[in-house]
């Protein structure tokens, strides 16, 4: 058995398994892991050859040994992993055995159907078995999706005590296939507490150099590189790797001199390559690297670094004092929340705060759902905001990236419950300068609390670069004399502790008129004192303007590029959207039929000055929609034109709904309809088209999304006492789950009509699976719904 | 990457309706945006065909072809090209984004992507054809699992043979949906004879409700 692994020295991994197996005659498409059972002597021979070449670590033949890939084979995960580890162990002697964990081979949600928890369970199964039979290290490799890597790392750390190494594969554009750049990878993986991280596969050593340089710039843990033997070239119809051993080793030497300490080979590499690297490493000593820690939060494809430009944290997704958001949360209306996120992003927010705390809802469940939905739509990093520790824990766990937690403070019990989460998931955290004694009056008092937060974090192994201090803004109307203490505290905390800072700026003006004036003045002062990331409403142009201006004056917006881009065309520049209306076609009917959606809101508002909401609906929206529908059916317009009109009506409807909500007038809804794309299917454009048209006609739609399990449909129908359900499926393979969904509804004795649609369906097929009706397109669905709910 | 606007319109069921400037502009924008976000990649391998017991074996791989439509396609071929191509995941997430928040754009982007993946396959097929011609071989048409009676279940085996997940990030779900969505797997035969066209009729396809067929057109160009 080997000693404990020493990450301070060079470590040499073996080369490719697949390339060697090809040499021994494996067919393309054959399961490489089956050789553990069918030809253990070949696997043993390959390991021995690599050991003979001088490697320190051999990798088990378990790259694809997961339950998804083994599903339709005769092998179980247990027997494949067990045999692989045993074979490696039998020849390893005092060298190390790395349990190889490759990607599952399925795309994760939201792009695919593999959930985070299923990915975790899949990896956990492999890891438990690997650890049980004596692996020394876990090598999570060739990852393209950082979310999958996170699931694997958590599975490794929660189900074994072995060291964990994680590598990802990059494309020529220096991103992984799912869009992760090197900085983002380092920021996330290092936070998750791996022992080493790096890059493998896809590229040859030369093409990898820029990626490696970037990783080394940020990684304070050991870096591993396992390149392919060049880029594959097609010779006589066969892929050939043409970087030979000597050249490969020269690259390895360059990498070692750059600071890489763990080397090995991927596709196309053989014992010759490993032997040649060994020859170079013997003559070198590991380079000591001095990496400066940065404060940064990440989504899977974007990292926001604090301390350079001023970064804006958008505060809009927080129900406190927001009636519409409260309504949306209560009715599970995610679209509203997502629209708030999109608006803030478009207004220039860098990070979005997410708070869904309402007593009437299940905060944990809604938070998890909101995080998932938000991350499927925007790529800004998120700030997870809750007073409940269990909510933070659940949200941070399923978050894809390195989140910011809002918040911890100087209270002992809060620190003891939040810091373990920060450490485990590698998050950043906001520390509020308040403790058991309240908010200290003076700047010095707040510094004291901040210092204690930083010290206690260090005891949990959290670096101060992961802490952002909030010196807390008091309102000028109540504690006027203390407002400037906050500004002083920001300067003091930064100078003394060297941490980044944030402030919830708009608190300052609470209870006073012209709040924006106070807010932006306070903001400018705080920025001058060193505020890095204000929390504010990015929809406020005055606030954003102050930040743009500050970035110019403080030399952060280099050459005033952003400023000029934002303001040089501020006035009078022509927009490409929408033609200008002349006075005689300022008619909502015309606007809807022509699909000029930019005009709909203002015209609707105008009409509402002289008409009731229902009059606008009945005189304008419905008749225009009918005309558009007829035009579509007769072939006078085609689908995108129909949709353009539908979106125009939607804009108009939003104004009307807002008015009705404010006036608590009679209900607008003509009936509630549940829509879902069935389990296993992910095509939802068709369903979304049906949705917008139904909403246009005044129906309320509960959109369950895509890949929806039948239980979820049953639940929604039961809870909402729903009379009409629309199901869509696009594949012959998923029509089966459509049938199962209908059966589940019937089995639960739910009195609802089921309407189905989708490319592969027809009348006959619909009958066969037990549907009540088949609709060939969205307009037919609308007709049917209007009939069912007696709207005609 | 190039996107033929006529094709985009065809996928959206366009039949000479009058299109105003706004719509024209929007479609042009979408074409440009699609070209910008495509991260196209492809992979192919060529195998010798062995015929045994009424089945076609692609030598050196685990692929065995049994369905009559694909056997007909390869009736005179001595080699078979196995290919896979994809536009990448960004295209999926962008289409999904628009289909929720700007459905018109979602629909147009979807049509742009369909046009783009066909273009990518045509390009790849061109490379295959040029190389084959050097060896005195001609190509058949391109044929994908799910066409005619060529079972969609072959997708998984094709992706395994090409190691497509590792090489180009292409996977298939239990329900035979390829992810990323805008992807194609296909076979092309290489034969000494010029193959007569078209070998594959729309009528043998299982998708009887297909809009292209109703209109008397064809889904493939």
pLDDT tens figures, B159-177:
999 999 999 999 999 989 9
Residues of B in contact with A70 (CB under 8 A): none
| Residue A4: per-residue pLDDT | 87
pLDDT tens figures, A525-542:
999 999 999 999 999 999
Same domain, A409 and A444: yes
Name which of A16, A109, A24 is nearest A63 in CA terms.
A16
Q: Which of B169, B188, B210 to mutate to test the interface with A (most CBs of A within 10 A)?
A: B169
Closest-CA distance of chain A to residue B194, Å: 21
In this prediction, residue B211 has a pLDDT band, given cuts at 50, 70 and 90, of: low
Cα gap A100→A110, rounded to integer Å:
26
Same domain, A126 and A229: yes
Name which of A552, A562, A518, A554 is nearest A536 in CA terms.
A518
Which residues contact residue B215 at a Cβ distance below 8 angstroms, ignoring those fewer than 6 apart?
Answer: none
pLDDT tens figures, B72-106:
999 999 999 999 999 999 999 999 999 999 999 99
CA atoms within 13 A on the CB side of A5: 24
Residues of B in contact with A374 (CB under 8 A): none
| Residue B195: per-residue pLDDT | 73
pLDDT tens figures, A185-242:
999 999 999 999 999 999 999 999 999 999 999 999 999 999 999 988 877 667 789 9
Contact A503, A525 (CB under 8 A): no
pLDDT tens figures, A403-447:
999 999 999 999 999 999 999 999 999 999 999 999 999 999 999
Is residue A243, in this structure, part of any structural domain at all?
Answer: yes
Mean pLDDT (chain B) is 90
Residue carrying structure tokens 């043998």: B204
| Residue A760: per-residue pLDDT | 85
Give the distance from CA B166 to its chain's centroid. 20
Residue A61 has pLDDT above 80, yes or no: yes
Structural domain ending residue among the three candidates A663, A693, A720: A663
Say which of A107, A644, A689 has its CB closest to residue B179. A107
| Residue B216: per-residue pLDDT | 52
Is residue A480, in this structure, part of any structural domain at all?
Answer: yes
Q: Is B161 close to A578, i.e. CB distance below 8 A?
A: no
Say which of A28, A106, A762 has its CB closest to residue B61. A28
Residues of A in contact with B22 (CB under 8 A): 577-579, 595-596, 644
Cα gap A664→A431, rounded to integer Å:
41
B177 close contact with A: CB closer than 8 A: yes
**Among A88-102, A293-307, B20-34, B201-215, where is mean pLDDT lowest?**
B201-215
Q: Is B15 close to A635, i.e. CB distance below 8 A?
A: yes
Q: Which range of residues forms the domain containing residue B35?
A: 5-214
Residue A666 has pLDDT above 80, yes or no: no
Q: What token pair was written down for A263?
A: 């080397």
Q: Is A685 close to B171, i.e. CB distance below 8 A?
A: no
Same domain, A217 and A336: no
Quote the pTM value.
Answer: 0.94
A689 close contact with B: CB closer than 8 A: yes
Is residue A573, in this structure, part of any structural domain at all?
Answer: no
Closest-CA distance of chain B to residue A535, Å: 26
Structural domain ending residue among the three candidates A234, A255, A281: A281
Residue A353 has pLDDT above 70, yes or no: yes
Residue B198 has pLDDT above 60, yes or no: no
Q: Is A595 close to B22, i.e. CB distance below 8 A?
A: yes
3-state secondary structure of A757: strand
Residue A585 has pLDDT above 80, yes or no: no
Q: How much is the average pLDDT of A609-623? A: 91
Specify which residues A304 forms β-bridges with. A297
Structural domain ending residue among the three candidates A281, A315, A338: A281
Mean pLDDT (chain A) is 94
A636 close contact with B: CB closer than 8 A: yes
Same domain, A222 and A316: no
Structurally, how many domains does chain B consist of?
A: 1
B78 close contact with A: CB closer than 8 A: no
| Residue B53: per-residue pLDDT | 93
Cα gap A156→A107, rounded to integer Å:
20
Cα gap A554→A307, rounded to integer Å:
12
CA angle A404–A409–A410, rounded 5-degree value:
145
pLDDT tens figures, B115-145:
999 999 999 999 999 999 999 999 999 999 9
3-state secondary structure of A339: helix
Question: Between chain A and chain B, how many beta carbons pairs sit less than 8 Å apart?
Answer: 160
Tell me A202's DSSP state: S
B107 close contact with A: CB closer than 8 A: yes
Contact A453, A462 (CB under 8 A): no
Q: Is B173 close to A27, i.e. CB distance below 8 A?
A: no
Residue A283 has pLDDT above 80, yes or no: yes
Task: Determine the number of helices (DSSP H) and then strands (DSSP E) in chain A.
Answer: 30, 25
Cα gap B201→B212, rounded to integer Å:
13
CATH of the domain at A218: 3.20.20.330
Residue carrying structure tokens 């929340």: A337
Question: Residue A364 burial (CB < 10 Å; 0-12/13-18/19+)?
Answer: middle
In this prediction, residue A571 has a pLDDT band, given cuts at 50, 70 and 90, of: low
CA angle B119–B120–B121, rounded 5-degree value:
90
Is residue B221, in this structure, part of any structural domain at all?
Answer: no
**Among A251-260, A645-654, B191-200, where is mean pLDDT lowest?**
B191-200
Is residue A291, in this structure, part of any structural domain at all?
Answer: no
Q: Which range of residues forms the domain containing residue A713?
A: 672-788
CATH of the domain at A599: 1.10.1240.10
Question: Residue B66 burial (CB < 10 Å; 0-12/13-18/19+)?
Answer: middle
In this prediction, residue A578 has a pLDDT band, given cuts at 50, 70 and 90, of: very low
| Residue A657: per-residue pLDDT | 86
ipTM entry: 0.91
The residue of chain B nearest to residue A69, with distances taken between CA atoms, is B160
CATH of the domain at B84: 3.40.109.40
Cα gap A739→A754, rounded to integer Å:
11
The residue of chain B nearest to residue A143, with distances taken between CA atoms, is B166
DSSP calls for A428-465: EEEEES-BTTBS-SSHHHHHHHHHHHHHHHHHTT--GG
DSSP calls for A553-613: HTT-SGGGHHHHHHHTTTTTPPPSSSPPPPGGG--HHHHHHHT-HHHHHHHHHHHHTTS-H
């Amino acid at each position: 058995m080997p000693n404990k692994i020493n990450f301070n020295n060079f470590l040499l991994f073996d080369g490719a398994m697949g390339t060697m197996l090809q040499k021994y005659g494996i067919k393309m498409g054959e399961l490489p892991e089956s050789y553990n059972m069918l030809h253990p002597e070949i696997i043993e021979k390959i390991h021995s050859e690599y050991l003979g070449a001088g490697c320190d670590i051999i990798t088990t033949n378990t790259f694809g040994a997961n339950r998804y890939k083994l599903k339709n084979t005769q092998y179980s995960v247990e027997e494949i992993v067990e045999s692989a580890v045993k074979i490696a162990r039998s020849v390893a002697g005092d060298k190390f055995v790395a349990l190889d964990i490759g990607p599952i081979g399925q795309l994760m949600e939201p792009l695919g159907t593999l959930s985070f928890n299923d990915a975790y369970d899949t990896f956990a199964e492999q890891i438990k078995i690997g650890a049980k039979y004596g692996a020394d290290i876990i090598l999570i490799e060739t990852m393209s999706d950082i979310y999958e890597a996170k699931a694997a790392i958590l599975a490794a750390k929660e189900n074994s005590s072995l060291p964990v190494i994680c590598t990802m594969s990059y494309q020529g554009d220096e991103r992984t296939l799912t869009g992760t750049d090197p900085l983002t990878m380092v920021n996330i993986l290092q936070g998750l507490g791996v022992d080493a991280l790096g890059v493998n596969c896809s590229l040859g050593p030369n093409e990898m150099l820029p990626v490696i340089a970037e990783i080394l710039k940020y990684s304070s843990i050991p870096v591993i590189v396992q390149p392919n033997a060049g880029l594959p070239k097609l010779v006589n119809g066969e892929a050939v790797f043409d970087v030979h051993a000597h050249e490969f080793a020269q690259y390895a030497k360059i990498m070692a001199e750059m600071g890489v300490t763990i080397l090995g080979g991927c596709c196309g590499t053989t014992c010759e390559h490993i032997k040649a690297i060994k020859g170079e490493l013997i003559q070198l000593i590991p380079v000591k690297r001095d990496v400066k820690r940065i404060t940064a939060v990440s989504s899977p494809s974007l990292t926001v670094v604090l301390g350079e430009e001023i970064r804006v944290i958008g505060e809009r997704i927080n129900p406190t004092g927001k009636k519409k958001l409260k309504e949306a949360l209560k009715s599970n209306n995610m679209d509203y929340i997502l629209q708030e996120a999109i608006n803030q992003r478009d207004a220039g927010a860098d990070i979005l705060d997410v708070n869904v705390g309402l007593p009437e809802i299940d905060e944990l469940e809604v938070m998890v759902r909101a995080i998932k939905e938000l991350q499927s739509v925007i790529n800004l990093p998120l700030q997870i905001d809750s007073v409940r520790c269990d909510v933070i824990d659940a949200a941070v766990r399923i978050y894809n990236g390195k989140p910011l937690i809002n918040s911890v403070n100087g209270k002992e019990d809060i620190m003891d419950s939040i810091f373990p989460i920060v450490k485990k998931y590698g998050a950043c955290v906001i520390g509020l300068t308040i403790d058991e004694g309240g908010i200290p009056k003076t700047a010095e008092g707040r510094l004291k609390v901040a210092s204690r937060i930083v010290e206690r974090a260090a005891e949990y192994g959290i670096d101060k670069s992961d802490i952002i201090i909030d010196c807390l803004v008091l309102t000028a109307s109540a504690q006027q004399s203390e407002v400037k203490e906050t500004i002083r505290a920001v300067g003091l905390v930064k100078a003394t502790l060297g941490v980044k800072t944030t402030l919830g700026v708009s608190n300052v003006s609470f209870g006073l008129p012209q709040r924006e004036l106070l807010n932006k003045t306070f903001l400018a002062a705080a920025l001058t004192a060193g505020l890095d990331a204000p929390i504010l409403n990015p929809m406020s142009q005055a606030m954003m303007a102050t930040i743009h201006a500050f970035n110019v004056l403080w030399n952060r917006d280099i050459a005033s590029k952003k400023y000029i881009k934002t303001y040089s065309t501020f006035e009078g520049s022509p927009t490409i959207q929408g033609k200008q209306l002349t006075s005689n076609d300022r008619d909502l009917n015309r606007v809807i039929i022509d699909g000029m959606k930019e005009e709909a809101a203002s015209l609707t508002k105008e009409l509402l000055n002289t008409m009731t909401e229902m009059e606008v609906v009945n005189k304008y929206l419905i008749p225009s929609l009918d005309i558009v529908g007829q035009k579509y059916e007769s072939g006078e317009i085609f689908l995108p034109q129909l949709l353009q009109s539908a979106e125009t009506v939607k804009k108009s409807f939003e104004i009307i709904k807002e008015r009705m909500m404010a006036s608590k007038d009679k209900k607008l809804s003509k009936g509630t309809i549940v829509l879902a794309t069935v389990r296993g299917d992910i095509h939802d454009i068709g369903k979304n088209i049906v949705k917008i048209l139904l909403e246009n006609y005044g129906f309320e739609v509960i959109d369950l999304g895509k890949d929806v399990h039948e239980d979820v449909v049953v639940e929604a129908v039961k809870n909402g006492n729903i009379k009409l359900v629309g199901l869509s499926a696009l594949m012959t393979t998923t029509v089966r789950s459509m049938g199962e969904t209908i059966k589940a509804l019937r089995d639960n004795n739910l009195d609802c009509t089921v309407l189905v649609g989708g490319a592969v369906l027809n009348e006959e097929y619909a009958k066969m699976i037990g549907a009540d009706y088949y609709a060939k397109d969205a307009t037919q669905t609308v007709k049917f719904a209007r009939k069912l709910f007696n709207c005609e | 990457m190039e996107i033929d606007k006529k094709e985009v319109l065809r996928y959206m069921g366009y039949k000479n309706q009058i299109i105003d400037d706004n719509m024209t502009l929007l479609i042009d924008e979408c074409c440009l945006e699609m070209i910008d976000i495509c991260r196209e990649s492809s992979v192919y391998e060529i195998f010798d065909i062995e015929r045994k017991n009424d089945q076609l074996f692609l030598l050196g791989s685990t692929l065995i072809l049994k369905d009559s439509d694909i056997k007909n396609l390869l009736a005179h071929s001595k080699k078979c090209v196995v290919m896979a191509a994809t536009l990448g995941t960004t295209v999926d997430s962008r289409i999904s984004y628009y289909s929720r928040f700007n459905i018109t754009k979602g629909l147009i982007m979807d049509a742009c992507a369909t046009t783009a993946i066909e273009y990518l396959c045509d390009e790849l097929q061109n490379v295959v054809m040029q190389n084959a011609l050097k060896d005195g071989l001609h190509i058949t048409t391109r044929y994908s699992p799910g066409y005619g009676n060529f079972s969609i279940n072959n997708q998984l085996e094709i992706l395994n043979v090409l190691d497509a997940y590792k090489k180009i990030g292409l996977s298939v779900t239990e329900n035979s949906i390829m992810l990323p969505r805008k992807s194609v797997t296909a076979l092309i035969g290489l034969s000494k004879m010029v193959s007569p066209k078209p070998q594959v009729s729309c009528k043998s396809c299982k998708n009887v409700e297909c809009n292209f067929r109703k209109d008397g057109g064809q889904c493939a160009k």
